């Protein structure tokens, strides 16, 4: 759930939304409540010019789609939004996006009446591990998360960037995950819980700092961003979590650890 307020003002209180710019493409990962501010930033940048972007969806849990009805570029005629993600059988991405904007969910505007062009495409992660969308090349990997979820890996001229959330570490396919994230310049990974919290929340589909640090060390990651902050974790608590995570990295390791901060820009 979004957690705005004075206790989350530094790390941010919105649910998942990330933007990547690669080779002229605008890629948005997930449409949590953070996509509302992204929409405003895009309008500041593009003005009246058309915006065309790819919205990659990891999965359709509410914290990853709930901001879409508040994404202002979707309300402008010349904009194009390609929503791409795993097939949430027996539903579809389109039906789930439609449902959260129907009258029963108390949203006044339906998906069908949005003036922009919104299209939906399903990926088949088992049949086609690498995807090529013009200048954008990426790979996917199923994560360990109730109901299913996809991690995304982007090969950029400046290095590999991997987004791995939501994912519970120490799952049955940890070796597959290890290979997927291997040698990433940037790994953005789900570390929602402290080790103490994780003990009572196994099976909820999220990671904890110690196992993600261990995974990052084994995979020779250069920069790790802790993310999917728990709604109960204040800025002060996050400072402590980050310090603890950094203390787990041996002095001889090149791994740098950060906590994702809302609206922070990282240049490769």
Q: Which is nearer to Zn ion, 60 or 153 (CB)?
A: 60
CB of 16 to Zn ion, least distance (A): 6
Q: Which is nearer to Zn ion, 139 or 164 (CB)?
A: 164
DSSP 34: T
Kindly list the distances between the CA atom of residue 88 and the CA atoms of 27, 80, 99, 192, in Å, as whole numbers in the listed order: 21, 22, 13, 23
CB of 26 to Zn ion, least distance (A): 22
Q: Which is nearer to Zn ion, 79 or 192 (CB)?
A: 192
CB 193 within 8 A of CB 166: no
In the range 41-70, which residues lie near Zn ion by CB under 5 A? 61, 63
Closest to 10 in 3D by CA, of 250, 256, 233, 254: 233
CB of 228 to Zn ion, least distance (A): 6
DSSP 260: -
Joined together, the tokens standing for residue 135 give 């200048």
Q: Does residue 160 bind Zn ion (CB under 5 A)?
A: no
Distance CA 40, CA 21 (A): 17
Q: Does residue 167 bind Zn ion (CB under 5 A)?
A: no
One of 166, 212, 255, 257 touching Zn ion (CB under 5 A): 166
Q: Which is nearer to Zn ion, 192 or 234 (CB)?
A: 192
CB 260 within 8 A of CB 15: no
Q: List phi, psi (to 5°) of 238.
A: -65, -35
Q: Which is nearer to Zn ion, 15 or 211 (CB)?
A: 15
Q: Does residue 168 bind Zn ion (CB under 5 A)?
A: no
CB of 69 to Zn ion, least distance (A): 18
Interface contacts to Zn ion, rule CB under 5 A:
61, 63, 166
């Amino acid at each position: 759930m979004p957690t705005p307020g004075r206790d989350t003002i530094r790390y941010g209180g919105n649910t998942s939304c990330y933007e990547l710019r690669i080779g002229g493409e605008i890629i948005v990962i997930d449409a949590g409540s953070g996509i509302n501010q992204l929409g405003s930033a895009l309008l500041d940048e593009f003005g009246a010019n058309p915006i065309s972007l790819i919205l990659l969806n990891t999965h359709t849990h509410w914290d990853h789609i709930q901001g879409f009805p508040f994404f202002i570029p979707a309300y402008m005629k010349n904009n194009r939004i390609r929503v791409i993600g795993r097939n949430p059988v027996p539903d579809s991405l389109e039906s789930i996006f439609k449902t959260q904007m129907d009258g029963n969910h108390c949203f006044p505007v339906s998906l069908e009446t949005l003036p922009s062009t919104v299209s939906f495409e399903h990926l088949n992660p088992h049949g086609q591990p690498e995807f090529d969308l013009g200048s954008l090349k990426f790979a996917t990997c199923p994560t360990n998360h109730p109901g299913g979820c996809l991690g995304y890996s982007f090969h950029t001229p400046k290095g590999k960037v991997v987004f791995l959330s939501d994912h519970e570490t120490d799952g049955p396919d940890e070796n597959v995950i290890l290979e997927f994230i291997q040698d990433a310049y940037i790994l953005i990974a789900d570390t929602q819980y402290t080790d103490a919290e994780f003990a009572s929340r196994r099976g909820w589909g999220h990671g904890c700092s110690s196992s993600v640090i261990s995974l990052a060390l084994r995979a020779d990651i250069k920069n790790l961003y802790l993310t999917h902050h728990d709604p109960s974790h204040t800025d002060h608590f996050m400072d402590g979590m980050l310090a603890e995570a950094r203390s787990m990295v041996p002095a001889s390791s090149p791994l740098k650890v950060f906590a994702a901060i809302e609206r922070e820009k990282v240049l490769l």
